[in-house]
Amino acid sequence: MDKITKQFQDKFGGVWTKVKFYKEMPHSSDYKIMKRVRFCEAITKARLFPVILKSSDISCAGAKYAFGWDHRVGKEIINACCEKRHISFDTAKSIFLAIPQLKIPPAAIGLNTDGKPDLLISYPQPEQFMNLLKVFQQYKGENLTVSLSSIMGVCGNVAVKTYLKERISISFGCDDSREYGHISRDRLAVGIPFNTKMMSYSHNPFQIMNAGKGGFG
């Protein structure tokens, strides 16, 4: 197990996955390239082996949009939302436009690959997240403010949001992420930012959380 993920697992429980947005395609025979996979699904599979994801590997229109890989799928997502939830086009469009999106798409996304990540993702139980929240409040002296959505629960509202805002993000998932990501009914999705400043604190999760702006959030 990677040192970084082990520290978070030992402190807060659950399983943590490192997420890295690569500007260039990494070269390593140790990484598994997956085909026709959802991002939320790959998070779970990365517990067994490091994973590299390219745009062509992703089967979910929502993830392709969130990661900036396909801007043309917006109408498809909105129409699907209307059909599944029996809501108006305008309502679905408003929900969709609130989803965070990477303006510069990565060449690839690494899950549990070597080196420091951009963020960590876990599917913890509420009690495990409460323990993490207590640490956040202890060192930041404030409440955690979140915005919740029921679409693109892991790709957009955890991975991309955590990366762009450099703050903790939580999500109760979406229909697809709960099914394909195997997020059971007693769990949620959580993202925590990780940056270079945190490296010097990496031996102690409590100090990691106190790394300042752009650290724990």
Check if the beta carbon of residue 166 is closer than 8 Å to that of residue 213.
yes
**Confidence label for 212 from pLDDT (cuts 50, 70 and 90):** very low
Give the integer Cα–Cα distance in Å for 19 and 159.
Answer: 8
Check if the beta carbon of residue 42 is closer than 8 Å to that of residue 67.
no
52 has a pLDDT exceeding 80: yes
Beta bridge partners of 19: 111, 119
**Confidence label for 140 from pLDDT (cuts 50, 70 and 90):** confident
Task: Supply the pLDDT for residue 149.
Answer: 96
Task: Supply the pLDDT for residue 195.
Answer: 64
Share of the chain above pLDDT 70, in %: 89
Nearest to 161 by CA among 209, 110, 217, 211: 217
Tokens of 204: 């102690």
25 has a pLDDT exceeding 60: yes
User: Is residue 50 helix, strand or coil?
Assistant: coil
Give the integer Cα–Cα distance in Å for 212 and 104.
Answer: 26
Give the integer Cα–Cα distance in Å for 141 and 134.
Answer: 10
**Confidence label for 217 from pLDDT (cuts 50, 70 and 90):** low
Q: b/e per residue, 28-64, with b = 16+ CB within 10 A?
A: eeebeebeebbbbbbbbbbeeebbbbbbebbebbbbb
CA quadruple 166, 182, 143, 127: dihedral positive or negative? negative
Task: Supply the pLDDT for residue 213.
Answer: 42
Mean pLDDT value across residues 124-138 = 92
41 has a pLDDT exceeding 50: yes
Give the integer Cα–Cα distance in Å for 152 and 158.
Answer: 9
Mean pLDDT value across residues 20-25 = 96
Mean pLDDT value across residues 71-97 = 95
Residue-averaged pLDDT of the chain: 89
pLDDT in tens, 156-210: 999 999 999 999 999 999 999 999 999 999 999 999 999 644 433 444 554 554 4
Give the integer Cα–Cα distance in Å for 181 and 201.
Answer: 31
pLDDT in tens, 99-129: 999 999 999 999 999 999 999 999 999 999 9
Rounded to the nearest 5°, which phi and psi values hold at 60? -100, 125
Mean pLDDT value across residues 124-152 = 92
Share of the chain above pLDDT 90, in %: 76
Mean pLDDT value across residues 129-144 = 90
Enumerate residues 6+ apart whose C-beta is below 8 A from 94: none
Give the integer Cα–Cα distance in Å for 77 and 48.
Answer: 31
In Å, how far from its chain's centre is CA 149? 14
Enumerate residues 6+ apart whose C-beta is below 8 A from 9: 1, 15, 16
